[in-house]
């Protein structure tokens, strides 16, 4: 079990998980690792692959829709599909997840309609889906705040005796923020049933990981908080699934939090408003393309005999259709009422807000043709 290996490392006082745990080599060859058990057979694992294919297609569509003016900005998770899909499909129905702005694919994987998942980026709503129904907190734009929310939620769940666990998504950049420290510290002290899933994609906008962390092994921080930690291959969806699954199980059974560092790479710009060619060489991407999460999974599933050309074609067609539906929905959407701007500022609007709202309404009434 991951737990055992990590505890041994902790007991030894050494840095945990120097090695990156992998269950599926970039070549598509399945490996066993005593520190990480995966109970999925190839047939069940195909669902992970399908979700990644659909997620990547929708991600690409969102980038294009930004270039077409349908979205204001978008943060792509291209290349990080294994981190978007694995942890989400490891959740139980009752669990909650706390995503950042880069988790659009994760939110969609949990079952939210892409149009609702992208409302934040269209500027049409702060959160386009019902958090309670989806059991997903609104995607956090401030860095690392969601980690505190997740810990608070998890502590509350534990107090009420429920067996619900929280899954907090973080980026490597978030681990440089004070909020991340506070969240990890609280979780460690109070044994909160919370899983911290850190996608170490190498970049905090334009700042590389080695300029953010004195020790670039982010999993090493678990020891300081008394939190079991492991470092996994973030482009291996079996590893992201298995590690999260085991950590959630431990959280639900009273075993406390886990820190998972998934080593991956941001293949696209930070957001569509960023130009990475100004701070990194394109040549780096070639090495990471060899580690593509989808390609290795497809090879594994084909070798296992659960995937053939027909199924690849049908899943690809399904992904294309979902992308087309998303495009049509955004292109056909009615313009928003600007007055909605005031709707959710305060539960009871202040006099100043009321005045501003009236001014805007007045302006609009005189502008309409």
Partner 1 sequence: MEREFRLPDLGEGLTDAELVRWLVAEGDRVEFDQPLAVVTTAKAEVELPSPYEGVVTARYGQPGEVLPVGATLVRVESGDGTAPAASAAAAQGGGSAAAVLPGEPARSGGADERATPAESGPVLVGYGTGHAGATGRRRRPVRPGHPATTRRVPSAPLARSDAVPETTPVVSRPAPAPAGQGTAGAGRRTASPLVRRFAREQRVDLALVPGTGPGGLVTRRDLEQWLAAAANGAEVPAAGATGAPVSQGAGAVAAPAAPGRGTGLETALGTVPETSGDAQVLTGAARVMAARMALSHREVAAAAAWLEVDASQLLDVAKAWAAVWPEEAGGGRTARPPTPFACLLRLVVVALRAHPELNAHFDGRSLRRSAAVHLGVATQTDRGLLVPVVSHAERLDLAGLTRATADAVAGARAGTSRPDELVGATFTVSNYGALGADGGVPMVDPPQVAILGVGRIAPRPAVVEGQLVVQARCQLTLTFDHRVLDGAAAAGFLVDLERLIRNPVLAL
- Closest approach, Cβ 323 to partner 1, in A, equals 9
Nearer to partner 1, 47 or 340 (CB): 340
Tokens coding 33:
């690792």
Residues 339-368 that bind partner 1 (CB under 8 A): 340-341, 352, 356, 359-360, 362-364, 367
Instruction: Give me the least distance between CB of 356 and partner 1, in Å please.
Output: 6
What distance in Å separates the CA atoms of residue 170 and residue 159, rounded to the nearest whole number? 24
Nearest approach in angstroms of CB 268 to partner 1 is 11
Choose between 84 and 244: whose C-beta lies nearer to partner 1. 84
Residues 274-333 that bind partner 1 (CB under 8 A): 274-275, 277-283, 324, 327, 330-333
- CB neighbourhood size of 17 (10 A): 26
CA-wise closest residue to 189 among 224, 156, 163:
224
Shorter beta-carbon distance to partner 1: residue 277 or 347 = 277
Distance CA 348, CA 175 (A): 36
Q: Segment contacting partner 1 (CB under 8 A): 58-66, 211-219, 288-296, 302-310?
A: 58-66
Note whether 44 binds partner 1 by CB under 8 A. Answer: no
CA distance from start to end of the chain: 68
**Nearest distance from C-beta of residue 319 to partner 1, angstroms:** 13
Q: Closest approach of Cβ 256 to partner 1, in Å?
A: 32
In angstroms, the CA 240 to CA 250 distance is 16
User: Of 250, 252, 266, 322, which residue is the catalytic one?
Assistant: 266
Instruction: Please say which residue, 299 or 357, places its beta carbon nearer to partner 1.
Output: 357
In the list 21, 23, 24, 61, the residue contacting partner 1 (rule: CB under 8 A) is 61
Q: Which residue matches tokens 């969609």? A: 108
Closest CA to 77 of 302, 294, 279: 294
Strand ranges in 73-202 using DSSP code E only, listed in sequence order: 96-98, 166-171, 194-200
Q: What does DSSP assign to residue 91?
A: S
Q: What are phi and psi of 281, to 5 degrees?
A: -85, 135
* Residue 336 binds partner 1 (CB under 8 A): yes
The nearest distance, CB 78 to partner 1, in angstroms, is 15
Decide the pairing of beta strands 207-208 and 229-233. Answer: unpaired
Looking at 126, 211, 279, 344, which residue is catalytic?
Answer: 279
Question: Has 279 been annotated as catalytic?
Answer: yes
Out of 231, 245, 270, 296, the active site residue is: 270
Stretch that binds partner 1, among 64-72, 190-198, 246-254, 300-308 (CB under 8 A): 64-72
Size of the site for partner 1 (CB under 8 A): 56
CB of 362 to partner 1, least distance (A): 7
Here the tokens at position 357 are 């709202």
Give the residue with the Cβ less far from partner 1, 23 or 118: 118
Question: Is there a contact between 99 and 136 (Cβ–Cβ < 8 Å)?
Answer: yes
Contact call for residues 171 and 100 (beta carbons, < 8 A): yes
Among 151, 159, 158, 160, CA closest to 185: 151
Q: Does 67 interact with partner 1 (rule: CB under 8 A)? A: yes
Is residue 56 flagged as an active site residue? no
Task: State the Cα–Cα distance between residues 280 and 273, nearest whole angstrom.
Answer: 16
In this complex, which beta carbon is closest to partner 1, that of residue 98 or of residue 186? 98
Residue 122 makes contact with partner 1 by CB under 8 A: yes
Tokens of 56: 């990547």
Q: Does residue 344 have an active-site annotation?
A: no
Q: Is 214 in the site for partner 1 (CB under 8 A)?
A: no
Do 115 and 330 form a contact (C-beta atoms < 8 A)?
yes
Give residues with Cβ within 8 angstroms of 301, minimum separation 6. 42, 45, 46, 49, 307
* 231 scored as a contact of partner 1 (CB under 8 A): no
The DSSP H or E segment spanning 133 is: helix 131-134
**Least distance (Å) between residue 75 CB and partner 1:** 6
Q: Which residues bind partner 1 (CB under 8 A)?
A: 61, 64-73, 75, 101, 120-123, 141, 205-206, 269-275, 277-283, 324, 327, 330-338, 340-341, 352, 356, 359-360, 362-364, 367, 369
- Which residues are part of the catalytic machinery? 266, 270, 279
């Amino acid at each position: 079990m991951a737990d055992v290996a990590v505890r041994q490392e902790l007991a030894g006082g050494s840095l945990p998980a120097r090695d990156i745990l992998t269950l599926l080599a970039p070549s598509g060859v399945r490996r066993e690792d005593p520190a990480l058990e995966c109970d999925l057979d190839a047939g069940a694992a195909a669902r992970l692959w399908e979700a990644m294919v659909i997620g990547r297609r929708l991600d690409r569509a969102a980038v294009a829709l930004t270039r077409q003016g349908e979205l204001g900005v978008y943060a792509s998770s291209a290349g990080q599909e294994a981190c978007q899909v694995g942890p989400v499909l490891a959740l139980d129905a009752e669990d909650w997840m706390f995503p950042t702005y880069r988790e659009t694919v994760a939110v969609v994987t949990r079952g939210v309609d892409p149009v609702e998942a992208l409302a934040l980026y269209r500027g049409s709503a702060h959160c386009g889906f019902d958090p309670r129904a989806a059991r997903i907190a609104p995607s956090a734009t401030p860095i690392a705040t969601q980690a505190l929310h997740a810990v608070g939620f998890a502590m509350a769940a534990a107090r009420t005796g429920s067996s619900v666990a929280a899954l907090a998504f973080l980026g490597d950049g978030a681990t440089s923020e004070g909020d991340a420290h506070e969240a990890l510290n609280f979780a460690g002290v109070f044994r909160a049933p919370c899983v911290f899933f850190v996608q170490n994609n190498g970049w905090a906008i334009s700042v590389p990981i080695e300029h953010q962390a004195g020790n670039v092994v982010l999993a090493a921080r678990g020891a300081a908080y008394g939190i079991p930690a492991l470092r996994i291959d973030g482009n291996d969806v079996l590893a992201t699934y298995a590690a999260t699954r085991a950590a959630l199980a431990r959280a639900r059974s009273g075993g406390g939090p886990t820190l998972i560092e998934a080593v991956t790479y941001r293949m696209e710009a930070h957001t569509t408003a960023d130009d990475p060619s100004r701070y990194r060489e394109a040549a780096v991407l070639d090495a990471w393309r060899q580690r593509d999460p989808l390609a290795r999974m497809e090879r594994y599933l084909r070798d296992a005999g659960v995937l053939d050309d027909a199924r690849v074609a049908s899943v690809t067609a399904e992904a294309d259709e979902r992308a087309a539906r998303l495009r049509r929905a955004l292109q056909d959407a009615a313009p928003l009422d600007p007055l909605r701007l005031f709707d959710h500022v305060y539960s009871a609007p202040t006099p100043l807000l009321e005045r501003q709202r009236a001014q805007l309404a007045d302006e609009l009434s005189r502008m309409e043709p």
